[in-house]
Amino acid sequence: MRASTPGVAALIETFGSADTITLQNTGDWGIGGDGADSIRIGATDAVALNQSVQGGFGSDTISIGSTAIAAATFAVGANQGNDSISIQANASIAMSLASIGGGLGNDTIATSGIATMSSATIKGGDNNDSIVIASGAITNSSVNGNKGADFLDIGFTASTGGTVGGGLGQDTILLSGVAAGNAASFVNGGGGTDSINLLLAGGGGTTINGGGLSDTITLNDAVNGVVIYGDANGITTSGSGTGGTADGADLIGASTANLDAASSIYGAGGNDTITFLSAAGTVVADGGDNADSITLTELDALSTVSGGLGGDTIAIGTAALAVTVDGGAGADNIQLEAGAGSSILGGSGIDTIAIKQAAAGNSVIDGGTQADGIYFATATTGTLALLNGVATVKGGDGGDTIAFDQFETAASVLGGAGNDSIAIGMTTVQDLTFSDIGTIDGGAGVDTISFLSSKGDVFDTGGVVVTGQANIAYGSGDVIVINTTAAVDSTTVFNGSTAGFANGYLKTAAAGTISVYSDGTDTIFAITDLVSSGVTFRITGADLVTTTAADNTAVGGGSGNANFGFSVAADTATSYTITLT
């Protein structure tokens, strides 16, 4: 056993065997040499320590601790072997310009009793290290596991300019401080499949990088103002998710985690999963390349969600304010519970967009290019929902499918280019309702527009209730399909009526009439269910109206009426089609 003399700086060096060294003075040096050495830095007086320790070969134990230490500036290098380095002072230490390195081997570094750590560096070195920082406020300091599968438990109570890095290997980083990451901080998992866990609330100004490969970043409590990258920050990401620096399949968030203020989440490359319970502040969530999954259960502020490249799945619960969703390239699946003034863009690729409740408040839904599916369906029954609000639904290019229940307020449905299918109706026992002026336009291509009701008489009394008017534009070759899933409950008679129109507008007529009117350019086809109510179809061009249950009626270029009728007997299932040729 060797110890320095109090008040006299000394250099103590041992060689073979397991030695014990005690350093007590400012400026002491200790070199352990071979063997499993025990080196202690302590003091008998309240001094500021400035010492250097080199553990050497062997599994060394280096401890720093004393009630007399007021401030510490030292350099500790464990060197080779499975070393243990601990700072366990009974009094708080102000540690400045200190350097601790584990070196080779599976090292353990633990600190407690540190009040502040300024411009300090802690490194685990090679192999699988464990670094536990129990407390302290840090400034411009760094903790790095370096190589190997490291475990880092960071309990900073405050951080300004702090950096935490896992380094190479499959690392686990726990941010367990009371205010973990509560000031400007940078956390980087580094290379390897890393796990980063923010255990408590905080995060203001914090940037978290998973690093390369497939990382898991978990937030267990409310965070605010964080920026999270699933892969390396600042790297242009691309790849198939098979490895490299920026294409890992990352897991970010938690189903119980909240984002309380402005935060940004970037999955970058790989098939990423981003999940959060709610967001009270402005949120930007970007899945990046490849097939990502983004789930935000509740949004209470303006938010932007982007799937990026690849076939993404985006699920958003109730949005109190406008949300902007862009599926990006690829075959995307986008689900929105409800949102006022939202903008939903499927982007390129064959997309599926499902709105579980009303699209209210000037919402715009655009499937984008290719053959998209846009569905308005209630969350509880899985049946179609109504268009509630001034909404615009665009199928875009390609053969699109658009399905909804009814118009409650003015809405526009535009099929766009391609052979589109637009379906209006419910599978439950419910009236078809047009409560405001709605516009449906299949656009270019041979389109099919269908009406469905489980009532026995889809357009008979009680089957359709119209207080507004549905203006539906057709082109040559389009098909109108009228279906009921139940047998008709009475004989439904549609008779021709010359009183159906005046100057191209529907006027009072008897219930159960079909009328065709030409204004010289377009053809208007109407089914009138109740007095002063009806569904009106505007057919572009002088087309031939064909039904499965009535004679063909040619509509010329004049402005006269062309009326025809047919009937469907009771107790028979009915489906009749009107084709424009």
**Amino acid identity for residue 366 in this structure:** D
Cβ 426 vs Cβ 452: under 8 Å: yes
Rounded Cα distance between 147 and 167, Å, is 6
CB atoms within 10 A of CB 552: 11
Helical H segments across 448-531, by residue range = none
Q: DSSP string spanning 252-268?
A: EEEEEEEE-S-EEEE--
Residue 343 neighbours by CB under 8 Å, 6+ apart: 322, 323, 324, 325, 363, 364, 366
Closest CA to 49 of 105, 87, 106: 87
Output the pTM of the full model.
Answer: 0.73
Closest CA to 139 of 124, 152, 125, 121: 121
Rounded Cα distance between 303 and 124, Å, is 40
Closest CA to 432 of 410, 411, 415, 407: 407
Q: What would the two tokens of residue 412 be?
A: 């526009």
Cβ 151 vs Cβ 171: under 8 Å: yes
Q: What angle do CA 449, 450, 453 make, to 5 degrees?
A: 160
SS3 labels along 25-40: CCCCEEECCCCCCEEE
Per-residue model confidence (pLDDT) at position 144: 92
Buried b / exposed e across 96-106, counting CB within 10 Å, b at 16+?
A: bebebbbbbbb
Rounded Cα distance between 26 and 9, Å, is 6
Q: What would the two tokens of residue 10 be?
A: 């000394």
Distances (CA, A) of 252 to 40, 76, 185, 189, 211: 42, 36, 18, 13, 12
Q: DSSP string spanning 320-349?
A: SS-EEEE--SS--EEEEEEEET-EEE--SS
CA atoms within 13 A on the CB side of 126: 6
Q: What would the two tokens of residue 178 be?
A: 């009371």
Q: What would the two tokens of residue 323 be?
A: 């949300």
Rounded Cα distance between 170 and 322, Å, is 40
List average pLDDT for each run of 10 residues in the chain, which is 581 residues long.
Answer: 53 63 68 71 57 72 67 72 76 76 85 83 88 86 90 84 87 74 70 81 73 79 74 40 48 75 77 81 81 83 82 83 84 80 83 70 77 66 48 79 68 78 60 59 73 54 47 62 54 42 36 50 52 49 46 42 47 53 52
Phi-psi region of 459 (alpha: psi -120 to 50; beta: other; left: phi over 0): alpha
Distances (CA, A) of 373 to 331, 369, 399, 424: 11, 11, 9, 14
The conformation of residue 4, written as its DSSP 8-state character, comes to P
Closest CA to 267 of 249, 243, 244, 240: 249
The conformation of residue 543, written as its DSSP 8-state character, comes to P
The conformation of residue 178, written as its DSSP 8-state character, comes to T
Rounded Cα distance between 89 and 92, Å, is 7
Residue 223 β-bridge partners: 202, 259
Residue 560 neighbours by CB under 8 Å, 6+ apart: 518
Helical H segments across 396-532, by residue range = none
- Can you say whether the dihedral through the CA atoms of 371, 377, 381, 386 is positive or negative? negative
Rounded Cα distance between 513 and 495, Å, is 5
Rounded Cα distance between 533 and 550, Å, is 23
Cβ 524 vs Cβ 537: under 8 Å: yes
Residue 276 neighbours by CB under 8 Å, 6+ apart: 219, 253, 254, 257, 258, 259, 265, 283, 295, 296, 297
Per-residue model confidence (pLDDT) at position 522: 53
The conformation of residue 201, written as its DSSP 8-state character, comes to S
* Tokens 């087309």 sit on residue: 543
